[in-house]
Structure formats: C-alpha cells, structure tokens
Amino acid sequence: MDDSIVSGVAGRYANALFDLAKESKSVAAVAKDLDAFGEMLDGSEDLTRLVRSPVFSADEQIRALDAVLAKAKISGLTANFLRLVARNRRLFAVADMIRGFRGLVAADKGEVSAEVTSAQKLTAAQTKSLKDALKSVTGKTVSLSETVDPAIIGGLVVKIGSRMIDTSIRTKLNSLKTRMKEVG
C-alpha cells in the first residue's frame, strides 16, 4: 500500500485499521460505520466538542462514545477502533483518520479520492458530470467526498491528493480585492 496517501498520527491509525479490516474481510462494513460516525461528527457540535476538547478524560470520552456508538448501531472492529483511539487520547484526530481510511479504500479499489466543497448540495447530474471530468484528468475512477460551505458563495473547491482546484467565487473576489489594492 502507498503510505503517502495518509501520514502522521492519523495515517498510522488509518493504515492499521485498514490492514485489520482487510484481514477480516470487513473493509466495506468498517467504511460504512466510519462514514456514519463522520456524519454524526459533522452534524453535532456536542460530539465535536467531546472529540476535540482536552478537558474530557479518556474514560469520559469512552463512556460518551459508547452511548453514541450504541445509538448509531456501530459495533465490531469500528467500535473497538474508536474506543482504542479514545483510550490513547487521539480522538481529536478521528476526522483525519476517517479521511485517511477513505483514501486507502479508494486506492485499494483503484480509485482516486476527491474532496469537493460547494456552496450548495450538488445534484446527481452535477456529481456525475464532475466525476466524469475528474476521471478524464486522473485516468481513474473518482470517489467524491462532498462538503457544503455556503461561504464560498459559488463554484467549487476540489482537492485530489496534494492538488487543489479552487473555482470558488469567494477566492475570485479575494483575488480581485488584492489586485485592486495594488492598483490604488
């Protein structure tokens, strides 16, 4: 496996989880559980605070995490992994671990993973068109991880590996503002 996909603490954890999931032939189930946990993390300020705040002890994080996992019906390898991350006081990096795991799954399937930020939710037709365009550039099937951020006003921000394509209106306005300051 190409270790350059993910690095650092999050990379080591993502690689270890991927290896375990592959060994137990449960990559798809773990990916589904991690996606569910990631969505919960994105949708809950309280869960984000629990994950990121150093104020909570490992035991408090594990107890709260157990309740969240039970509610989400996440068990098995994924639940054990998340508990281990909490026990080791690395829960603050769980979003990066999830992102890293997604990248490893995509690479294993011969896909490339792209993160797309748009001002509003993309339609199915827009998603297909974007995937087709990215496939023509990369030569690989593209799996998209979508984020909605109204602050970019319009356009897209696409990240594939270390490359970023920013066609957002916010960036264009900031660029115009900078050029106007240089002139005046």
Q: How far apart are CA 19 and CA 72, in angstroms?
A: 24
Q: What is the Cα–Cα distance from 20 to 77, expressed in whole angstroms?
A: 8
Number of domains in the chain: 2
**Residues whose CB is less than 8 angstroms from the CB of residue 14 and which lie 6 or more positions away in sequence, other chains included:** 6, 96, 97, 98, 99, 100, 101, 103, 104
Residue 6 has pLDDT above 80, yes or no: no
Q: What is the pTM of this model?
A: 0.70
- The label of the residue with tokens 């602050």 reads 151
Q: Please indicate, yes or no, whether residues 11 and 98 belong to a single structural domain of this protein.
A: yes
Are residue 80 and residue 136 in the same domain, yes or no?
A: no
pLDDT tens-place string over residues 115-169: 999 999 999 999 999 999 999 988 899 988 888 999 999 999 999 888 999 999 9
> Could you tell me if 123 and 49 lie in one domain?
no
Residue 115's nearest CA partner among 87, 142, 154 is 142
Of the residues 66, 85, 104, the one at which a domain ends: 104
Residues spanned by the domain of 13: 3-104
Rounded to 5°, angle at Cα 145 from 23 and 20 = 10
Single out the residue in 48, 75, 104 at which a domain terminates: 104
pLDDT tens digits for range 26-75: 999 999 999 999 999 988 999 999 999 889 999 999 999 999 999 999 99
Amino acid at 52: R
Where in the chain does DSSP place strands (E)?
A: 111-118, 141-148, 156-160, 163-166
134: nearest Cα among 121, 147, 143, 146: 143
